[in-house]
Structures are given as C-alpha cells and as structure tokens.
Amino acid sequence: MLSMGDQEKHDVAIVGGGVSGLYAGWRILADARTRGKPVPRVTIYELGDRIGGRLQTWLPFGPDGGIRAELGGMRFLDNQQLLCTLLAELGFARQDFLPLHGHGPNLRLLLRGRGTALTTTTPTKRYKVSSSARDKQAADVLAEVITEVLGTEENRLVLKALIGKDCPADRREWDAVKAELTWHGRPLWDVGFWNLLSDVRNPETYQYLCDAFGYYSLAGNWNAAEAMEALHLDFTPGLHYLTLAEGMQALPDTIAEHLTRLGGSVEPGTRLAGFDVGADGRPSLKLVTGPSTRTTVADQLILALPRRSLELLAPTAAFDLPGDDGLRRLVQAVTPNPAFKLFLWYADRWWERRGITQGRSVSDLPIRQTYYFAPDGPVRHSAGLLMASYDDARAVDSWHGLCPTERELATGRDELHTAMRNFVQRHQLGGAAHDVPRPPPHLSLATEGMRRHATSQLARLHGVPEDHIPDADVGAFADWTPDPYGGGWNFWNVGVDVRTSMARIKQPLGPGTRVHVVGEAYSGLQGWIEGALTATEVTLQRHFGVRQPDWFPTGYYLGW
C-alpha cells in the first residue's frame, strides 16, 4: 500500500495525456471561461515524454512530405460527429483517408495459400462455407448474419416494440434495443460473437469471415450485442473514411495548446503510481517524475486510462483491485486486444509497378492487412511507405517472436532516427534544410527477422518470388501490447451489462465520489477516438456540470 502525504493541490488532476485526458482538461477550462468562473487549477500528468497516447504520427519527410506513419489511430468516419465538429472548431481541414477509398483491381486477397483480387468472391471455395455464404464477400456475409439474428421472431418483436423498425439505424437505436435482443433464448450480451457467428453459419464460414475481414479481434469472442452494433455501424461497405493531413497526433497536440492557453498545465514524464482518498473524500495522488516521488491532492481526479493502465496502479485502501472483487470485475469488464503495425519505407514505390497506387490488401498470413501510401502533400517524390502489416490478436504473437531484446529496444528509437536521416539525405527527401524529427516514443527499429518475415509474406501476398520484393530502406514497428496499454483497443466482455458498467466506471468508487474513469476503453465506440471523446463528454456533463458549448453537434447522441 502507498502512504500519502498532502502537498500540491488541484481542482482537477487528470492522469493520461491521450486524447481523452486532454479533451477533459480543455473542456473543463473552456466551460469555466464561458461561464465567467475563476480558472480552475487543471493539470494533466502523462507518463510518456510526449502526449498523444494512442495517437502518434511520424512525418519523417516533414509536414509537406505527405507520408504519415500513423502508429495508432489513423482514420475516422464522417458520421462521428463529436470528433468532426471538434476538428472544425480547432481549425482542422479533413481529407479522405485514401487507402480505404482505393479499390483498384490489383489489391490482393490471399487466403489459404492462394491469392486473388481483393474484391473477388471465389475464396469462399477454399472454405467449407455454408451454402448461403458461397461466393460472397466477408462484409456481405457479416451483414446477412446480423440481419438473421435481428430477424428471429423474438428479436423482431423487440425491435418493433422499442424502435418500430426491423433494424436499428444508429447508435441511439442500438442502445435502445441491444439489452433486449436474444439468441436461442439467451441475452445477446451474454453470447460471445465468435460463438454466435459460428452458430448462425458454421465454423468454416466463421474462419472465412475472420481471415477475409482483416481483423481477428472484431470477430473474436467479445460481447455479441456490442460486436453486432460495431460491425453494423462502423465496418460496413460505403462508409466515408477521413484523416488529417497533419497526422492524427495533431489533434491531441492542438487540444493541449488550447488547454495551456486557458491556464491548464501538462506535465509529461510523470507517472501516477497510485492514489488514495482522504477522510474529506479528496483523492491524493502519488506521482513519480524521474527519481523523485511526490504527493498531490485534487478535488477531482480523472483517470483517462485504459484497463491495463488502471491495473498497473499500486493498490491502496481506496483503489484496491486485487482486494476489491466488485471494483476488479468492473475494471476487467473489457479486454485489451493486442495490435501491431510494421512500417517499411522504400525509395521507390515498387507496388505501383504491380498496378497498385493506394488501398489495402488482406491475407491470412501474420501480416494480415497491408496499406500502400504515396505522398499526398505539396512536395512530390518517388518514396513510399508500406504499412506492411496491420495486425491484431493472435497474429501479433508471430511478431513477438521477432522483437528486439530489451537492450536493443532501449536504443531502437535512436537507431531508427539515424537510419531515417541517412535515407532522407541519400534520396534528398523533404528538402535540403529538412531534419528528420525524432520518432514517436512508441516506434522502434524493426529487426532483421521482422523485415525478412514481412518480405517473404509480401511476396506471397503479391504472387511474386521473394527477390521481386526490394529490401526496405527503413523498417520500424509499433507494438501496442506492452504496458501501459495492454493492447490497441478494448472490447466489452461476454456477460457484461454494458449500460450499468459504463455508468459505474464514470465513478468507480461509488456515487458521489471524486474519481472518474474516461476514455476509449469503457466507451460505446471502442477502438475509436469518437469513443474516447463521447465517454469523456458524458462524464463531464453528468459529473462536472460542464455544459455543451456552441460548437457542439446539435442533438448528437453521446451514448451511455
């Protein structure tokens, strides 16, 4: 247990300098300013040497070089209204996320050892899929499964009674019905999505869906009611994906600038070791900066942290995860999903010779999804970036066997910086005066083994001998599995009453207490920035009395 003294004081202490923590601080300060209240003392503590959390961008060719390595979040949807209006308020211009709007005929789908065009339906022949899934794309099979589950007699009655239609059209309608939906007499939230898919079709159809969809975690055994909503609303064909030309990291950076202008402060390099609650109900935080430890007291504490970060806090009388079963069950109501990205930079965009300009290929090899990037900024050049692998869940394990040692990892960021500088100089990328910025904290030099395995899989994906795939000039990886993240995104577990858990996590120590958990992990849109923002906004309105500002999307449903 930690022993707590009483030194610094804050109105609001926020732990976690990801987008949710920064947004919380900025909104509290902006609300006070709008209402003519005194400036509250708001400080954000971030353990990393840089803010942004799971939004980290590297622009090695400079801001005009037009090739962004997005280590975490890279795109958003035009129907994610809180994020979209926030971006407009902060002065960002959005642009199309090209890889998901490119469906050229040469993008690849490699399943069970045979490659075809991404849009082909023939791979179902390589699986013993159910007859209804034959010759169909994975997204269409998924859509049919969702329709079938919603179409049972019991569910049709629920839908008619609660929303007056056959299928929920948006998040508000899904929230209205999902607790009442069933499958074979069991509440849908108590069924695993993997089990449901397998049940509705068959295990081989499930395998096809899993392989062809590109993400294992989405079709994993998470809460089926949540999974159906997520897949129905966020992963169906025809959605409009956007990104920021500056890179997604510009969002947390800009919020932080606004926050400091309003009198808030951000303290990178400071870790919350644990917190307790005093007799007056106020939280006291044990903070570690380098070798020194100090204690600070706050009127309110916002933990803008995912599950794994919460689990790493030292147990105290107030927050005792090992000893308090109810609290532990609440925090562990979600599961983090491993996520991994491997980036390969080339002087020459070799894939264009294979007829691929932009887009995404998919395979059942550990690389899973491959994204092709060309410069889209004002400076044109011949270099390109391949996000050779964007993979999750069990595929990440394959890369773990090829990871650098602890010692290599310690110097990996500097070596990557040097390697990229040499590459940029050699090919005169980014202009004469350009100096390559230091890589984000979460990026490290790829090992020889990673590059070799990736090259071999890329050759199979593109149906060419290995020596047709050139050696990458620079390789780097971002693995979101290690602490303090535990995974790239979190999903609600089977058997969790999500509505109740979302309400409780906003005040995990009980009604009227001064500790709050916000962010993506316990949101209604997990794996999205929009989820991090909406969960935070609901907490601020409900527990801090923060009012909606003028720029807020009118009538927008924020969820539970």
Ligand X SMILES: Cc1cc2nc3c(=O)[nH]c(=O)nc-3n(C[C@H](O)[C@H](O)[C@H](O)COP(=O)(O)OP(=O)(O)OC[C@H]3O[C@@H](n4cnc5c(N)ncnc54)[C@H](O)[C@@H]3O)c2cc1C
| Site residues, ligand X (CB under 6 A) | 15-21, 45-48, 53-55, 72-76, 271-272, 304-306, 309, 339, 341, 480, 484-485, 488-489, 519-520, 527-529, 531-532
CB of 521 to ligand X, least distance (A): 6
- SS3 label, residue 124: helix
CA 503 to chain centre: 22
Task: Provide, rounded to whole angstroms, the least separation between the CB of residue 249 and ligand X.
Answer: 10
Least CB distance from residue 319 to ligand X, whole Å?
A: 12
Q: Which is nearer to ligand X, 78 or 448 (CB)?
A: 78
Least distance CB 21 / ligand X (angstroms): 6
Provide CB contacts within 8 A for 425, sequence distance 6+.
Answer: none
Q: By the 8 A CB rule, do 430 and 62 touch?
A: yes
Closest distance of CB 203 from ligand X, Å: 28
Q: Smallest distance, Å, CB 532 to ligand X? A: 4
Closer to ligand X by Cβ: residue 233 or 304: 304
Residue closer to ligand X, measured from CB, 341 or 543: 341
Rounded Cα distance, 454 and 236, in Å: 28
Rounded least distance, CB 97 to ligand X, Å:
8
Contacts of 400 (CB under 8 A, 6+ apart): 479, 481
Best CA proximity match to 335, nearest among 150, 522, 514? 522
* Residue 344 Cβ vs ligand X, minimum distance, rounded to whole Å: 16
Cβ 251 to ligand X shortest distance, Å? 9
Cβ nearer to ligand X, comparing 201 with 307: 307
Q: Helices (H), strands (E): how many in the chain?
A: 16, 24
384-392 β-sheet, strand order = 114-117, 108-111, 359-363, 369-373, 384-392, 339-346, 474-479, 444-445
Nearest distance from C-beta of residue 132 to ligand X, angstroms: 31
Closest to ligand X by CB, 339 vs 374, is 339
For ligand X, which is the closer residue by CB, 247 or 306?
Answer: 306
- In the complex with ligand X, the residue whose CB is nearer, 203 or 269, is 269
* Residue 434 and residue 61 in contact, taking contact as beta carbons nearer than 8 Å: yes
Question: How many CB atoms neighbour CB 125 within 10 A?
Answer: 12
Nearer to ligand X, 402 or 424 (CB): 402
User: Residue 41 is inside which H or E element, if any?
Assistant: none
Q: Which helix (H) or strand (E) holds 102?
A: none
- For residue 186, the minimal CB distance to ligand X (Å) is 30
489-492 and 334-337: which strand pairing? Answer: antiparallel
Rank residues 53 and 62 by Cβ distance to ligand X and give the closer one.
53
Task: Let me know how long the chain is.
Answer: 560
C-alpha span between 94 and 102 (Å, rounded): 17
CB of 419 to ligand X, least distance (A): 22
Q: Which two tokens stand for residue 114?
A: 């045979």
CA-angle at 365, arms to 362 and 369, nearest 5°: 30
DSSP, res 471: P
- Sign of the Cα pseudo-torsion (94, 97, 98, 104, in order): negative
What are the start-end ranges of the E strands in 304-449?
Answer: 334-337, 339-346, 359-363, 369-373, 384-392, 444-445
**Dihedral sign for Cα atoms in the order 494, 497, 503, 504:** negative
Smallest distance, ligand X to C-beta of residue 409, A: 17
CA distance 514 to 389: 42
Find out whether 195 and 222 touch, Cβ atoms under 8 Å: no
* Closer to ligand X by Cβ: residue 391 or 473: 391
Helix then strand then coil, in percent of the chain rounded to 5, is: 35, 20, 40
State the CB neighbour count (10 A cutoff) for residue 400.
12
The residue written with tokens 């916002």 in the block is: 302
Residue number with CB closer to ligand X (208 or 340): 340
Closer residue to ligand X, CB minimum distance, 115 or 439: 439
The label of the residue with tokens 């129907």 reads 79
Which C-beta is closer to ligand X: that of 124 or that of 217? 217
